[in-house]
Amino acid sequence: MKQIFLFLSIIFSTVSISQTVLTSYPIDLKNVQDQYELLNAENTTTHDVFAFIASPNNFTILKYNSAFFLKDQFVTSRQYVENRSLLGYSFSEDGNPTVYWLSPEQKDIIVIKYYFENKTTRALKFALPVDNQSIVTQYQKDNNFYLLMKYKDKQALTAYIFKNGMAEERFLDFSPFIFRDRKTQQKTFNQILNENPIEKMDSGEYNPLFKVVAKSKLYTLPNRLILTLDQSLRKTQLFDINLDNLEIKEKTFMQPLGHKNARTSNSFYHENKLYQFNVNSDELLFDIKDYDSGESVKAFTVLKNDTIRFNNSPLLMQIENRQPKEIKKTSKFLKELASVDAGLSVFKNKKNLFITLGGTGSDSKAISMNGFNMFDDFFGDFPPRNYYIESNYSVFFESVWTKKLELTTEKHEPLASDKIYYFMDTHKEVSLPNILKLNNYSILGYYDITSKEYVLRKFTDGFD
């Protein structure tokens, strides 16, 4: 949880973090700032792990088995993909990887399949319809590569599904639905997304606070998408999208009602439940609803003079990357939270359910100095001038639940992602980092600029 990483660094300074070097591969990347890219990937069928390492002239693919023994490697030139960036990957039924290379200037994607058996490649070109569409996001699911695009002149999305060398197009029509903004004024689907760009939530991973404050969120499931819109303070408008038959079902989940109008609100979808909360300076309302029935299964009301009963961490405020400070009073916390963009994140590991509830905002402060330089204007020849410095900050707390939605008194233990961010911050030799989430642990792949090696490290949840 990146927003509390400095808070956890106090703990890490006295407790060892669980991490293990799984493997390393000698490779000399001359200048890591010069067109170098690194991407880790898992074939979810065979559980082989791949490393894609792109340098200005060469492209290296390392293939590891599930025990991280190097099975094979493939080194080839950058022919056809000069000045292109790695967009994503997929795996065919024969186990070989396909890599997608993007060039926004050339308005196309070069699709290359790499055959390990005979070290050959096959290249195709996919023309991007950028004249009337723009890319929303891309992701991998079930060994396929997905590209989601938004129309400029139609109230629709298009999902392109790349599998086994073929691209399938799915037209998702949102024109039959009605959309309203925060002031209840009717808007088009495109207007809502232009004002509230879609943020893709990482499936099975912890999504940090700066991502979950987005008002439009996309959740990726097998052959299915969940799109939630929270531009209204009163409700969450949810669309369940079937990528097989193109059916789009709309659901509406009303926000819990308080004594006063909410100042900010948001939601988060997780495993067939919708988590909602809204807040003003006097109260915080938190509700967990069953997705199918829409009924509330857990509900909390916190007034400004109450003690929050479901927080397992202090109430915290963090400015930029400084050490978080505790907010002692609920009233002060609610006042701060009501003035920012709200968001909540839900993550489950083998043991517990972790909920982060908070928000992010920015603050500008004026600093007065003379018009000549930062030193005193001895003769008074230069009039004073105000300069504004903007600081980003967040307010939040952590809550630890059982998987049956029961409250616990457990203290927050660091997740694998916490340890990875701490490791990267305290090891300056780490370059080109890339995180791969596997079933029971996470992998940090990176280039070690000191030892000149590509390294894979394993990180697990909890303390040693």
Tell me the residue range of the domain where 338 lies: 207-414
Looking at the fold, whether 384 and 462 belong to one and the same domain comes out as no
Q: What percent of the chain has pLDDT over 70?
A: 89
Q: Three-class SS of residue 84?
A: coil
Q: Select the more confidently predicted residue: 351 or 229.
A: 229
- Residue 8 belongs to a domain: no
- Residue 439 belongs to a domain: no
Looking at the fold, whether 220 and 305 belong to one and the same domain comes out as yes
How many domains does the structure of the chain reveal?
2
Looking at the fold, whether 179 and 285 belong to one and the same domain comes out as no
Q: What number is the average pLDDT over the span 84-94?
A: 95
> Cα–Cα–Cα angle for 299, 211, 135, nearest 5°?
125
Looking at the fold, whether 172 and 269 belong to one and the same domain comes out as no
Reported as a single tens digit per residue, the pLDDT across 103-144 is 878 789 999 999 999 999 999 999 999 889 999 999 999 999
Q: Is the pLDDT of residue 259 over 60?
A: yes
Query: Which residue type occupies 137?
Result: T
Q: What is the pLDDT of residue 320?
A: 84
Q: Three-class SS of residue 11?
A: helix
Looking at the fold, whether 63 and 141 belong to one and the same domain comes out as yes
16 confidence band (pLDDT: 50, 70, 90): low
Looking at the fold, whether 291 and 263 belong to one and the same domain comes out as yes
Q: Which residues of 397-418 are buried (b: 16+ CB within 10 A; e: fewer)?
A: bbbbbeeeeeeeeeebbbbbbb
Q: What is the pLDDT of residue 387?
A: 52
Number of neighbours of residue 218 by Cβ within 10 angstroms: 21
- Residue 4 belongs to a domain: no
- Cβ partners under 8 Å of residue 22, min gap 6: 68, 443, 456, 457, 458
Question: Could you give the CA distance from residue 316 to residue 247 in angstroms, rounded to a whole number?
Answer: 43
pTM for this prediction: 0.90
Looking at the fold, whether 152 and 63 belong to one and the same domain comes out as yes
Q: Quick one: CA torsion of 80, 81, 83, 89, rounded to 10 degrees?
A: 170
Structural domain ending residue among the three candidates 372, 393, 414 = 414
Number of neighbours of residue 326 by Cβ within 10 angstroms: 12
Phi-psi region of 241 (alpha: psi -120 to 50; beta: other; left: phi over 0): beta
- Residue 1 belongs to a domain: no
- Residue 230 belongs to a domain: yes
Number of neighbours of residue 108 by Cβ within 10 angstroms: 16
Structure tokens at 1: 């949880």
Q: Is the pLDDT of residue 57 over 80?
A: yes
Looking at the fold, whether 105 and 192 belong to one and the same domain comes out as yes
- Residue 432 belongs to a domain: no
Looking at the fold, whether 80 and 187 belong to one and the same domain comes out as yes
Q: What share of the chain is helix, strand, coil (3-state, %, to 5)?
A: 10, 50, 40
- Residue 290 belongs to a domain: yes
Count CA atoms within 13 Å of residue 89 on its CB side.
Answer: 19
Looking at the fold, whether 384 and 454 belong to one and the same domain comes out as no
Looking at the fold, whether 156 and 296 belong to one and the same domain comes out as no
386 confidence band (pLDDT: 50, 70, 90): low
- Residue 68 belongs to a domain: yes
Looking at the fold, whether 85 and 133 belong to one and the same domain comes out as yes
Top-ranked range on mean pLDDT: pick from 76-85, 274-283, 312-321: 274-283
In the sheet that 85-91 helps form, which strands lie side by side, from edge to edge? 85-91, 97-103, 108-115, 120-127
Reported as a single tens digit per residue, the pLDDT across 390-433 is 678 999 999 999 999 999 998 888 889 889 999 999 999 999 99
Structure tokens at 21: 């070097």
Question: Could you give the CA distance from residue 433 to residue 447 in angstroms, rounded to a whole number?
Answer: 7
